[in-house]
Each structure stands twice: as structure tokens, then as C-alpha cells.
Amino acid sequence: MTISDTILTDRTVALRQDFPILQRMLPNGRPLIYLDNAATSQKPQSVLDAMDDYYRRYNANVHRGVHTLSEEATAAFEAARTKVAKFVNAPSARQIVFTRGATESINLVAHTWGRANLGPGDEVLITEMEHHANIVPWQILQAQLGFTLRYVPITDHGTLDLRTLPDLLTPRTRLFSFVHASNVVGTVNPVQELVAAARAVGAAVLIDGAQSAPHMPVDVQALDADFFVFSSHKMCGPTGIGVLYGKRELLEAMPPFMGGGDMIREVTMTGSKWNTVPYKFEAGTPSIAEAIGLGAAVDYLQQVGMAWIQAHERAITQYAYTRMAEVEGLHILGPAPDARGGLVAFTLEGVHPHDLSAILDRSGVAVRAGHHCAQPLHDRLGIHASARASFYLYNTLEEVDVLVQALHKAQEIFTL
């Protein structure tokens, strides 16, 4: 361990106090070692308090009431939108649409922008390393609209094979939709290069930031994304709320996603006029407490510092990568630590990832096992499933040591 690693760990020990769940013991008497952050992150006390405060003191519906509670709720809800806009450096809070999560954000774009812009002869380009959330909506739409769905292949190292881009990006490509940071191989994609290649053929760009926004500074203007999506629950916020950022002219030109209250300006027996963005896309009562919780999560992450979080995860991932590689029969999926985010997916020869996960659980270590909603990626790598340890701001090098010890133990048990 280097001095800088020690400093990182010391700060983390202090930050852990902010997360009540990290203080708990498991039924087997072991402390919780939570390494399943790519699935969902834990929540600090400030997020729990912000949601509790809303329900206890000013629970009311937003936008509609002219009474004190409704005005307070509306102010807190809209303040959360402004915080999120600043978090990703969106030019305006009006470009932040609240959804249920990254999945719904992508579906929203598919069913509004997609329906208005895609047809036979058109192409949508995604990649082999996408989460199902950025595959299935396009497959559903493809069956209805008749466009062609193409995939950028990956190399054996789990990076995009950029040599194929000139063939795959053509004037027929209407949209290039790709993951910023992979939830399996961990690869952080060269966004600037990918966006420039899309622009050169006039394609719009959607970036799936579900695994990047929680872990690194994100500037949607610098990335020049047309759409950027992410989920609150992976960044210390509650479940049930996510974000679609979009360029203003695109959002304004898009038809609504769902119909109902709040998304209209006027309704008559014969038709309706839509509200302005972002409300045009937010039909019905939104997830109010969840938006307020997300706002508190943004405050928390900014107070810790996104650059610090990124550096901390790099240190942990580098350490985990080196230590895990020492385990006999363990194969790490994806590129070297300097090209990846804060997670390590792997297989252990002779041990099914589900069995492995159950054994690690006995040591208090929570990892994920399965295809991580990325079946085409696993198919491409020639495996059915993998195990995944994913880190966040509260993980320590000592926790990685416990993981590695438990992996050695599992390897011994299964090769006896």
C-alpha cells in the first residue's frame, strides 16, 4: 500500500460513517463488505433525511397547488432539477427530464425521437458492450419501424474495435447510442472520439451514463452529447428516479412520451396542447421524494468531490486488479485498470459465478453474479456468466483484502 492509498483509505473510513447500512453486521456475525455498487449504491444519511423531511414536513403534490406545502414541495422538486443540471453542467435545468431511471430515459428517446426520426433504410448503431437497457428498446422499435440495428464489435480485451467505425458509421446512421462506462468489462469509452465520428456522418448521439455519472466528473456540454442518461440509485440517491438530459432543440421537437396530467398546456374534447420541456415528458405525479433525495445525493457527491471519487476508485480498482490476478484460475474480463472504471468482473475456473457469490457472502462480501443484463457481451466473450466486484467512495483496500482471501478460499474448496 502506498502513502497516497493510505490517505485515500483514511478519508473513506470517515465517509463510511455517513452510511448507516455500512455499520450493520450480517446474520452470520460478519461486517458487510458491499461490493455490488454497479447494481445499486448505498445511501448516506443526508439523502435519507431529505426524503424523510419531505414526507414529515411538506408532503404535497407539485406544480398544481397554491398552498404553502405544495409551493414548498414544488420549490424543493425544482431545486433538485437545478442541482442535477449543474452536476452534469447542462446549460439549463429545462434540459433535465426526470424519469424512473436510465432504462426509462432510453425508452423515452426511442419512443419519441426514434418514432419521429427512424424508418426503413435508416440505421441505429449501438455496441456489443451495451446493457440490455440500450439494446432491447431499439430491438422493439426496429420490429415496428423497420430500420437496421448494427453493433460496434469489441476486441478480446473488452474495448471497442474502433477500426470498424468507418464502415459502421455511414450517412444512413441516424443515431449512435453507446455506453460511457461498461457495467461488465469496466471499459471507459473514448467519448470524444466516438461523438466526433458520429457528427462526421450527421448522426445523433445518446450516451448511457449509468456507470459514469456516479463515478467521475461529467460535463454534457464538453461531451457534446445529444442525449445523456443516468440513474439516481447508482449515485447514492433513491430508486425510482433517473435523468434524461437532452439538447434543447431536440427535446422541443420531440413528441411526448406518455399522456396525462402536468404534460399538457390545454386539453379540450378534441385535442391537447403540450406543456413546455421538460414537463412535456413528465406525465402524472412525479417521484417527488425521490427527486428531492436525488438532489441531496448530488449535494453529497459534490461535497465529497467527483474528482476525488474517481481517483479513489482508480486506486481501489488498481489494487483489486493486481491482488485478484494472484488467485489461481481467476480471469479478469476487460482492459487494464487505467482504461476502466471502478469495477472488476471475473470468472474463476471450475466455479460457477453463482456458487462463488454464495461463498463470498459467507465472508460478508456482496458481489453480483450472472450476465449483469449484458447477455450479448457475455456471448461475445464466450461465457454464460461472470462475477463482479464494483467499488464506490466508501470501499477500502482492506475490503479488497477480504474479497481476495475469500476468493483464495473458494478456489481451494472447489479444486480439492
Computed on alpha carbons and rounded to an integer, the radius of gyration of the chain in Å comes to 22
Q: Which three cell numbers stand for residue 288?
A: 417527488
Report the nearest approach of ligand PLP to the CB of residue 234 (Å): 6
> Closest distance between ligand PLP and the C-beta of residue 88, in Å?
16
Contact predicate 346/360, CB 8 Å: no
Instruction: Enumerate binding residues for ligand PLP (CB under 6 A).
Output: 38, 101-103, 131, 133, 179, 183, 208, 210-211, 231, 242, 373
Residues 6+ apart with CB under 8 A from 224: 192, 195, 199, 205
Cell numbers that stand for 53 in this block: 423531511
Q: DSSP letter string over 364-415?
A: TEE-EEE-TT-HHHHHHHT-S-EEEEE--TT--HHHHHHHHHHHHHHHHHHH
State which residue, 233 or 280, has the beta carbon closest to ligand PLP.
233
Q: How far is the CB of 40 from ligand PLP (least distance, A)?
A: 8
By C-alpha distance, which of 294, 276, 286 is closest to 74? Answer: 286
CB of 133 or CB of 160, closer to ligand PLP: 133
Residue 11 identity (one-letter amino acid):
R
Alpha helices in 207-305 (DSSP H): 220-223, 248-253, 288-304
Of 74 and 246, nearer to ligand PLP (C-beta) is 246
Minimal distance in Å, beta carbon 37 to ligand PLP?
A: 10
CB of 79 to ligand PLP, least distance (A): 23
For 197-230, the DSSP string reads: HHHHTT-EEEEE-TTTTTTS---HHHHT-SEEEE
Minimum distance, C-beta of residue 143 to ligand PLP, in the bound complex (Å): 21
Neighbours of 162 (CB within 10 A): 14
Looking at the Cβ atoms of 314 and 388, the one nearer to ligand PLP is 388
The answer to whether 373 is a known catalytic residue is yes
DSSP letters along 157-183, please?
A: TSSB-GGGHHHH--TTEEEEEEESB-S
End-to-end CA distance of the chain: 32
Q: How far is CA 388 from CA 26, 182, 309, in A?
A: 20, 12, 19
> Between 9 and 137, whose beta carbon lies closer to ligand PLP?
137
CA–CA separation, 325 and 347 (whole Å): 11
Strand ranges across the sheet with 204-208: 96-99, 242-246, 227-231, 204-208, 173-179, 123-127, 148-152
Query: Annotated catalytic residue: which of 373, 375, 409, 414?
Result: 373
**In the complex, least distance from residue 26 CB atom to ligand PLP, rounded to whole angstroms:** 24
The answer to whether 76 touches 55, Cβ cutoff 8 Å, is no
Q: Which residues are catalytic?
A: 373
